[in-house]
Structure 1
């Protein structure tokens, strides 16, 4: 156990050992429920193929893999007994390889997870314009009426509707929503 702690606290692994401790503390606090910080998707990872996934996930994978590579690389370079200067230079090379491996692993994790975090976009009342609805009141006039409309996700909503008075719309009739009146908070409909 002493050799493991010594390897984890020696160069180059020591850099990622402290980062690993921070990552473990973060996820432990999230697991316990005391910490509810969600660091969202930042654009800094988009150029590396890490976008679309919370930074906490990709950073955690990057730190864990990089720590493991630096730990293994540090043990190998120490075992070669090449002298202090050469060991430090090789340790810097191990750091670079560890970062590349960590980024590669984070990208491998981010690509399939991206579908889980795909933004659905915010729903808007204008999404109903152009959709068919079913009249749910006895009649629809220029002053009164309600209809049931189905959204793209399959959910339904009862909305206020009005018509110009040219057509008769009664309970159960299908109508087409062709405009949204923002001030009156209703939709204009016509027979479908």
Structure 2
């Protein structure tokens, strides 16, 4: 246990340990409904790429597309990258670094371990992300408008004008949608709500508590 703690809070794992604490805190906020994990993402405009307009897509987004990390909320991608790279780096630091004599070789080896772990984490994250993409499929406006008037179940801890998520059952399958509601309201996780309107410009639905 002592060697694990030493590895987790010493170079190079300490860098990722700090980032992992931030990730844990973020998902705790998401769990209680204080943040919407899908609002922070990088939109990749493939039409702009086809038109050859490089100014319409960021360099970061192009790298994400090339590495196969697109199709899910960016917060999930970052969380997986940090978690996997932290696990790999901490394991290598605990078992390999103590075998190296001297301080300088340890620093060089630690840097190499960190870079290799990040590279391997990208590959593993891309493999994990691939089957998750179907959970975040965007539906066109016709399909969206068709569920107006139906009931849905709230998934987040609360629903405000800024964020909220709900689940709608359609033809035996469930659709995860973004919702909002005027506050104050009684909507919370597990509550039943009625879909009132679809906003095509924001891709969100206005909901209200069931009578």
- The runs of at least 4 aligned residues of structure 1 exceeding 6 Å deviation read none
Cα gap change, 1:109/1:97 in structure 2, threshold over 3 Å: closer, same or farther?
same
SS in 2 for 1:16: helix
The 2-side partners of 1:113 and 1:41 are apart by 16
**Structure 1 unaligned residues grouped into runs of 5+:** 125-152, 155-192
Measured after TM superposition, the shift of residue 101 of structure 1 is 1.8
SS in 1 for 2:96: helix
For residues 144-185 of structure 1, the C-alpha deviation after alignment (integer angstroms, 9 at most, x for no partner) is xxxxxxxxx99xxxxxxxxxxxxxxxxxxxxxxxxxxxxxxx
Partner of 2:120: 101
Listed as ranges, the matches of 1:15-164 within 5 Å are 15-37=15-37, 38-43=39-44, 44=61, 45-123=64-142
Partner of 2:6: 6
The 1-side partners of 2:77 and 2:33 are apart by 20
Measured after TM superposition, the shift of residue 94 of structure 1 is 0.4
Partner of 2:179: none
Measured after TM superposition, the shift of residue 42 of structure 1 is 3.7
Q: What is the root-mean-square deviation in Å for CA atoms of aligned residues?
A: 2.0
The 2-side partners of 1:79 and 1:121 are apart by 55
Q: Give the TM-score taking structure 1 as reference length.
A: 0.60
Q: How many residues align?
A: 126
Q: Which has the higher contact order (CA 8 A, sep 6+)?
A: 2
In 2, are the aligned partners of 1:77 and 1:91 still within 8 Å (CA)?
no
For residues 77-119 of structure 1, the C-alpha deviation after alignment (integer angstroms, 9 at most, x for no partner) is 3321321111111111101111112111210111111112122
SS in 2 for 1:123: helix
Measured after TM superposition, the shift of residue 3 of structure 1 is 3.1
**Structure 2 unaligned residues grouped into runs of 5+:** 45-60, 144-169, 172-211
SS in 1 for 2:134: coil
Segment drifting more, 32-41 vs 46-55 = 32-41
